[in-house]
Amino acid sequence: MEFSAAMIAAYLHGTVEGDANVTVNHFTKIEEGRPGALCFLSNPKYEPYLYTTDASIAIVNADLQTKEPVKCTLIRVPDAYQAFAMLLQLYQENLPRKKGTEQPCHIAESAVIGQDVYIGAFAYIGENARIGDRAQIYPNTYIGDGARIGDDTTVYAGAKIYADCQVGNRCILHAGTVIGADGFGFAPREDHTYSKIPQIGRVIIEDDVEIGANTCIDRATMGATVVRRGTKLDNLIQVAHNVEVGSDTVMAAQSGIAGSAKVGAHCVVGGQVGIAGHLHVGDGVQIAAQSGILKSVPEGRSMFGSPAFDYKDFMRSYVVFRRLAELKKQVDNLSELHKSS
């Protein structure tokens, strides 16, 4: 399908600068632009490409002041990144969705399957499981006994959802995701061996959550491990038993949350962050990559380091400890002067 600059601007509530009748039929990065393509510019680092791109239309921030002539038509919007994301989402929503049941697969007689559902080959759907309307269950997935999958949710190939776990509406679970494996619960014995503590709880994933590939969310020892509405988890993340992650929190790859920790709403967690067990991280907390959280964090704080402390304090300290070798040499010299005096 082709769309004109005027049509795109009307959808985005933007303004056209250039040929309003020029059309596009595909997306591209600004540095790889070619005729018929739509691109965007939000990061100033990529501004030089705006003057050389062959893309037909570029979406830019309304306040951008161009420094050279621009060949392509511009659509000015308040937030170019968000506007481009809206167009990509619209494009994806209009792609054809799979329907029907491929064979071979196993669907228990007691399972309840909604309308317009796609179930891929070699999928397993257990006893009393419920699959919502328009759900997409890709090949080689496992849906355990009593599990619940909401409407319009997509479960990609190889994902595993253990018994009695619940996934809400409009969720996306990427390949290899494991929901509801046993939490890491073992009691030490006197002979230095370990006794397994049965994990009899479940996992609740609320609506509009996206979970990246090979991320694991463990079932609770008792009760539920909960991921609240709108949260986005990257690939290769570990969420341990009885953890609660608040709504609209984002967490980057290779991070881990230990058992019974509570992470608030609207938090931003960088990659390779570790959060110790039984802690509380308040709403709106930002944690820089590779930080280690060893004590509870009040809401609204920014943290950095391992063990982590206030981001601004860390940066002031960094100015000092990056010079420790030089400072030590100065102290040694002063010590030698003192001895010789």
Contact 204, 224 (CB under 8 A): yes
The question of whether 106 is a catalytic residue gets the answer no
Relative to beta strand 106-107, strand 112-113 is unpaired
> Distance between CA 178 and CA 153 in Å, rounded?
15
> Distance between CA 107 and CA 120 in Å, rounded?
11
> Distance between CA 241 and CA 225 in Å, rounded?
6
Relative to beta strand 166-167, strand 210-211 is unpaired
Choosing from 13, 106, 192, 241, the catalytic residue is: 241
User: Rounded to the nearest 5 degrees, what angle is found at the Cα of 148, between the Cα atoms of 145 and 153?
Assistant: 130
Extended strands (E) in 183-334: 186-188, 194-196, 202-205, 210-211, 216-218, 224-227, 232-233, 238-239, 244-245, 250-251, 256-257, 262-263, 268-269, 274-275, 280-281, 286-287, 292-293, 302-305, 308-310
| Residue numbers annotated as active site | 241
